[in-house]
A and B are shown apart, each in its own frame.
Chain A
Amino acid sequence: MMNYAIVPHWFAGYNSILEMLFFAITLLVGAYALKIYQLSGQRQHKLFGISFLLISASYLIQSVLNFLSSYSMAGGCNMQTMSSMHTLNIMGIYAHILFFIIGLVTLAYMSLRIKDLKAYFLFAAIAVGTLLASSNKLYFFYVISSILLIYISFFYLRNYLQTKKTNSLIVFIGFLFLLFAKIHFIFSVDHGAFYVVGHLLEFVAYTLILMNLVTVIKRK
């Protein structure tokens, strides 16, 4: 069964724009991490880059999907197209969920500093398996994302406490906002207002992450 988040009518279209922005920011961070990997050859940079590219792909899918939904809701499609849209919608949500969860698993795996791919595949299989076996996939997607983000936020808190640098603090707060956003999305399955707040919190999160990247690039 696939439940949907309730999107307030006035917010349709804006969600797609925000998700396209999240796509651009995560793509930029991921691509930059891979560029650093080319220079450093360090595995952590590669994993971080891959995780952000996966998250970026998930936002691209979500944005396109929401744009098409807004378009069809506005009466731009006939019944046959609406039916195809529904199938496409289901497939798109699955793709979005899979890319995002695997992206977060990759980020969590990177933070554990384990050099064993078997552990990575085990984590990914548990996360994806739990989602596929769940009765309400969207709800469990937000719950599993929140659990992973709690761990990742703690990792960035530890990183800040070790480095005591403003940049590390900005990244920690960014991931904390991302966690709050996912927690809000859990409730968006029943209430539309949480969907909007979730998007706004994500916007703050990615703005902070982008701010850090810009600061790093400017200092080179």
Chain B
Amino acid sequence: MSKKRDKLQIIYDILSVIKEKNGKIKPTNILYKSNLSNQMFSEYMDELIQKGFIVETKANKSKTYSLSQKGFDYLSKYQMIVEFTSSFGLGE
């Protein structure tokens, strides 16, 4: 059985999916690839937009998402964030 993903890992997975698509992706694709329930997906996306990790663009009644600089920074420093979080017991 696979280990349950923690919050930092889920955020990493969502941001990685967006990065793979060169920063332009539709919500259904992210939902499919991030392996989350609809409700969890909405909560994570709202949080990531609100905290400035991703940017939502609306055009012709459809939404696309791209990474902000903060999102790119998170991906590049992910391993260090995980180490710090795990050693100081800061996981949520």
Contacts and interface: CB of A to CB of B under 8 A. Distances in A.
Interface of A: 32-33, 36, 39-45, 48, 110-111, 113, 155-156, 158-159, 163, 165, 167-168, 170-171, 212, 215-217, 219-220
Given A159-B89, A219-B79, A220-B79, A42 B84 contact: no
B41 interface: no
Given A219-B79, A220-B80, A43 B86 contact: no
Contacts of A41: 47, 51-53
Given A113-B92, A219-B79, A220-B79, A40 B86 contact: no
Interface stretch (B16-24, B25-33, B55-63, B69-77): B69-77
Contacts of A110: 90
Contacts of B79: 219-220
A105 to B, nearest CB: 17
Interface of B: 7-8, 11, 47, 51-53, 70, 73-74, 77, 79-81, 83-92
Contact of B8 (A42, A163, A216, A219): A42
Contacts of B91: 44
A42 B90 contact: yes
Given A33-B88, A41-B51, A212-B88, 18 more contacts: A32-B84, A33-B84, A36-B80, A39-B74, A39-B77, A40-B74, A41-B47, A41-B52, A42-B8, A42-B85, A44-B92, A45-B84, A110-B90, A158-B89, A168-B87, A170-B87, A216-B84, A219-B79
Main SS at interface, chain B: helix
